[in-house]
Amino acid sequence: MFIAHLPAGYLLTRRIVGTRQGLRRAAFATGLTFSVLPDFDLLYFYLIDGRRTLHHDYWTHTPLFWLAVAATLALALRLAGKRQYLILVWVALANVLLHLFLDSIAADIRWFHPVLETRFNLVEIPARFQPWYLNFILHWTFAAEVAICAAAAWIWARARLAARPVEASASE
Ligand SMILES: [Zn+2]
């Protein structure tokens, strides 16, 4: 997936946060960050690894790793008596798992690594064009990405418009 991680993260975070007011900004910041965080491994891929290993094979694209991190954080927050922050752990985990699910549409993701090395992807994209990214952009799955972006832009714009009268009356 190329362009839809962030807008998909926005839609998911909106869904989780709902009308909740407490930690709303923090939840959106967390959700948007974690919706794209796994792909920061591209820095390692290009700058350090020399493109030797597919970045989808790094631990950053391993669901069980993120589940373990989330479980550890949730336990730590509970033991520290800071249960109110558990929502942020949930938002982060949900967004990372959404990222991996969206990657798994057209790319191989090892959902059960290190227990099972089977790779899961819904659609095989044939290599027909050069450069390589044209194969993805000219595939129908890219239309789904555009649709996710359009839906997020529409809902974001509607929310902004709905918030306008409240902002205007608050400033008077
Ligand atoms: Zn990714």
Query: pLDDT per residue over 71-91, tens digit each?
Result: 999 999 999 999 999 999 999
pLDDT digits (tens, 9 = 90+) for 99-110: 999 999 999 999
Q: How far is the CA of 80 from the centre of ligand 1 (A)?
A: 32
Q: Supply the mean pLDDT for the chain.
A: 93
Give the number of domains in the chain.
Answer: 1
CB atoms within 10 A of CB 107: 20
Indicate whether 171 pLDDT > 70: no
Cα distances (Å, whole numbers) of residue 149 to 2, 4, 54, 72, 114: 11, 6, 26, 33, 33
Helical ranges in 18-139 per DSSP H:
24-36, 41-47, 63-79, 86-106, 133-137
Domain that holds residue 86: 5-171
Report which residue type is found at 26: A
pLDDT at position 90 is 97
The tokens describing 93, both together, are 């985990």
Q: How far is the CA of 17 from the centre of ligand 1 (A)?
A: 23
pLDDT at position 168 is 55
pLDDT digits (tens, 9 = 90+) for 32-82: 999 999 999 999 999 999 999 989 999 999 999 999 999 999 999 999 999
d(CA 121, CA 119): 7
pLDDT digits (tens, 9 = 90+) for 144-155: 999 999 999 999
Cα distances (Å, whole numbers) of residue 120 to 39, 100, 105, 115, 117: 18, 10, 8, 14, 10
Q: How far is the CA of 23 from the centre of ligand 1 (A)?
A: 27
